[in-house]
């Protein structure tokens, strides 16, 4: 039996055979909208599904196909789909798993636009949702209803860094026959692989760690061959939130350094989290790598490393938190994450501004909470910038 290559090798080679693409070392960019048929019968056969081959780039593209095969391998899934944004991926999955009158059970916190989508589904299609801490079997069972069609989980949760024990969720979900969907954006498949823990579908905002360079917006979904084929030929095809070939090519290029980048992100984040915890202007540091994190044990069980994201609160008001951000020099104020640059944002007024204040506070997002995406710069320079702004805040 052929030995499977290790993760660090598969991010570079999986899904691509240069001999099938004119011996090009780098995967070619097939920047085309449509494909020609040798004759009318071939066109008929391809549309009927009786012959393999490309038809139209909304339905499939060779560059995109390489990306999808690579991501399926990295997440341990059978197949993958690429989308034009993370939210296109989230909406496609939720549309495919629900119908009018259904119910979605969600982790206590979710990305602000995911929250907005849930509200839209409830308003337009009577698809309800509830939030749960998911910290015990009893808690999860108590929130499941007879019409719960899926369980949707972020872990770590954006931006509170709460972790969900995926094996615990899966145990209850399997009893009820409910699929489990996990947004794995904060971890990437290098740090966490939910499918290997029994989950059914994994979602990524590939804009973040998968791309890694702040120059592409995209989404990815990984799951079973059957489910991915169903989404491809229904939700993806008919709503049309597809990825462009060029963006797929950029993601393939970014993926090659994923393992190296994630190691650097994580190592630097651990140093910065420790330094933040020791500064008198900082109220709390929320980082899964710290032993006082409520789910530190969960992190050790299901993540390779604690990740490159840190949330922390300052001793002060919203205005003081905003002034601290304005006093930063090298670190950029921006709402993305996973880039080479260190980025900081204020969730209450930025990524989660759409969430009503009462709901936002119940998620643990207060006005002094800040989210830091630790970049690839020298950690000493990251801390130098943070500390000079913190000293002013103090």
Q: Active-site positions? A: 58, 111, 183, 208
Q: In what order do the strands lie in the sheet with 103-107?
A: 79-83, 219-223, 201-205, 180-183, 148-154, 103-107, 128-132
Task: Collect all residues with Cβ–Cβ distance below 8 Å to 260 and sequence separation of at least 6.
Answer: none
Half-sphere exposure of 49 (CA within 13 A, CB side): 3
Q: Could you tell me if 203 and 90 are in contact, meaning their C-beta atoms sit under 8 angstroms apart?
A: yes
Q: Looking up tokens 């899904």, which residue turns up?
A: 15
Q: Which two tokens stand for residue 14?
A: 């999986």
What does each C-alpha distance from 298 to 41, 107, 155, 219, 285 come to in angstroms?
Answer: 56, 15, 10, 26, 18
What does each C-alpha distance from 178 to 76, 149, 150, 202, 370 come to in angstroms?
Answer: 20, 6, 5, 15, 34
SS3 145: coil
Q: Which two tokens stand for residue 297?
A: 């044990």
Residue 21 CB coordination number (10 Å)? 16
Handedness of CA 111, 113, 117, 118 (dihedral sign): positive
Q: Could you tell me if 368 and 321 are in contact, meaning their C-beta atoms sit under 8 angstroms apart?
A: yes
């Amino acid at each position: 039996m052929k030995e499977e290559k290790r993760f660090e090798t598969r991010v570079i080679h999986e899904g691509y055979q240069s001999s099938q693409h004119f011996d090009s070392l780098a995967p070619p960019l097939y920047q085309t909208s449509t494909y020609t048929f040798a004759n009318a019968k071939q066109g008929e056969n391809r549309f009927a599904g009786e012959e393999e081959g490309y038809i139209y780039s909304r339905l499939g593209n060779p560059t995109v196909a390489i990306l999808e095969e690579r991501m399926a391998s990295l997440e341990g899934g059978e197949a993958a789909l690429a989308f034009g944004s993370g939210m296109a991926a989230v909406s496609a999955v939720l549309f495919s798993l629900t119908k009018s009158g259904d119910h979605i059970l969600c982790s206590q916190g979710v990305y602000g636009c995911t929250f907005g989508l849930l509200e839209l589904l409830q308003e337009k299609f009577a698809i309800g949702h509830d939030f749960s801490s998911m910290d015990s079997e009893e808690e999860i069972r108590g929130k499941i209803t007879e019409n719960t069609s899926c369980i949707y989980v972020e872990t770590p949760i954006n931006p509170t860094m709460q972790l969900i024990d995926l094996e615990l969720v899966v145990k209850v979900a399997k009893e009820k026959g409910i699929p489990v969907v996990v947004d794995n954006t904060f971890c990437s498949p290098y740090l966490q692989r939910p499918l290997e823990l029994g989950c059914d579908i994994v979602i990524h905002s590939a804009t973040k760690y998968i791309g890694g360079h702040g120059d592409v917006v995209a989404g990815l979904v990984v799951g079973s061959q059957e489910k991915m084929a169903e989404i491809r030929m229904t939700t993806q095809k008919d709503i049309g939130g597809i990825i462009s070939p060029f963006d797929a090519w950029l993601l393939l290029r970014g993926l090659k350094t994923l393992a190296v980048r994630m190691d650097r992100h994580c190592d630097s984040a651990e140093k910065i989290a420790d330094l933040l915890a020791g500064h008198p202007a900082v109220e709390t540091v929320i980082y899964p790598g710290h032993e006082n994190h409520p789910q530190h044990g969960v992190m050790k069980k299901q993540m390779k490393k604690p990740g490159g994201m840190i949330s922390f609160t300052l001793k002060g008001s919203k205005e003081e938190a905003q002034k601290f951000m304005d006093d930063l020099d090298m670190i950029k104020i921006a709402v993305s994450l996973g880039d080479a640059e260190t980025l900081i944002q204020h969730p209450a007024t930025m990524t989660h501004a759409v969430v009503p204040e009462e709901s936002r506070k119940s998620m643990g997002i207060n006005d002094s909470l800040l989210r830091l995406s630790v970049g690839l710069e020298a950690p000493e320079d990251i801390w130098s910038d943070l500390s000079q702004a913190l000293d002013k805040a103090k």
